[in-house]
Amino acid sequence: MLSLGKMLELTLADREPAQKTQMTVSGTCLRWLAHGALEVRPHADRDNGLDLLLSAGIHGNETAPIELLDELIHAIARDELQPRARLLFLFGNPEAIRRGERYIEQDVNRLFNGRHELSSGFEAMRACELERLAASFFSLEGRTRLHYDLHTAIRGSQFEQFALYPWKEGREHSRHELARLKSAGMQAVLLQSRPAITFSAYTYERLAAEAFTLELGKARPFGQNGQVNLTRLDACLRGLIEGKEAAIDATQLDGLALFNVSREIIKGTEAFRLNLPADVENFSELPAGFVLAEDADTRWVVDEQNARIIFPNPKVKNGLRAGIVIVPHAG
């Protein structure tokens, strides 16, 4: 196996490779761009025009998707997987990955779309670097752009694997991409309806990629992800990489639960209180009339029908989202 196939090992050891560019026997080119950043180019005769960005480890303790990307990189470096797509692999927050922490000082996934410019520290600098790497990768005209940002969740979920689909004014969500998510094992998709500051929102809004945040089960340490079944996602990614994707029927979305954002709960002060159990699962139902949260003189009362909660987290910093109230998609 080519030494650049050991990208995760290099990242964990905080080492640069001796060789920055290597070629497989079949002509696939691997190029080290920065810590946790590897570009893969297919042989020109095999290039099918797809630019595929695969990122994981934006939160350092979300190890299942990191391990998945590591396996794909190994397979490419061994020439077992011969790409027809141009690829960029990113391990988002190397220092947090090394420490097994969600983040060190700041949540990197709240620092995109220019938010890093309002902050300081190495994680803000890393968000800026990730934007630069993604913008450079998606700079070629006339190519298909696709980004999957892979995560695992802090808590359990009634839909174990689900996706968040960013929003941009004037741009419609793609049924073809929704059908692809279903084939990759996603059980639910949240169709967002406002700008966001996550990595996938940046590549969707600014770089014209189809982009998604994928939540793939509960966060666990390295080597303890046996309960996270990523078989369908792995097959989907290998099909995209090799240009052997099974036919997608965009008319068939049965079994894929779709939701819209009703509102976000923003923590304003240290007096904020979320009136939910600490172990509440994502997609838990919220009864109408329930006082969901309180903060100084503000109260959030559930007035939506069939409302659910995702990403409840009262420990976020003031000014950040402490939960999202969602409702079934009516379309």
SS3 92: coil
Name the active-site residue from 95, 215, 242, 281: 215
SS3 128: helix
177 counts as catalytic? no
Neighbouring residues of 151: CB distance < 8 A, sequence distance ≥ 6: 56, 58, 59, 62, 65, 109, 213, 214, 215, 216
**Residue 183 φ then ψ, to 5°:** -65, -25
**Residue 154 φ then ψ, to 5°:** -65, -35
- Output the CA–CA distances (angstroms, integers) from residue 223 to 61, 96, 131, 220, 228, in the order listed: 12, 17, 30, 8, 11
What CA–CA distance (Å, rounded) separates 140 from 66? Answer: 27
How many other C-beta atoms are found inside a 10 Å radius of the C-beta of residue 86?
21
What CA–CA distance (Å, rounded) separates 115 from 46? Answer: 38
Neighbouring residues of 20: CB distance < 8 A, sequence distance ≥ 6: 31, 32
Strand stretches in the chain, DSSP E: 21-23, 29-34, 37-41, 50-56, 86-91, 144-153, 161-165, 188-191, 210-218, 257-266, 273-274, 284-286, 291-295, 298-301, 307-310, 321-328
Q: Is the dihedral of CA 237, 227, 55, 173 positive or negative?
A: positive
What CA–CA distance (Å, rounded) separates 151 from 213? Answer: 7
Question: What are the residue numbers of the active site?
Answer: 215
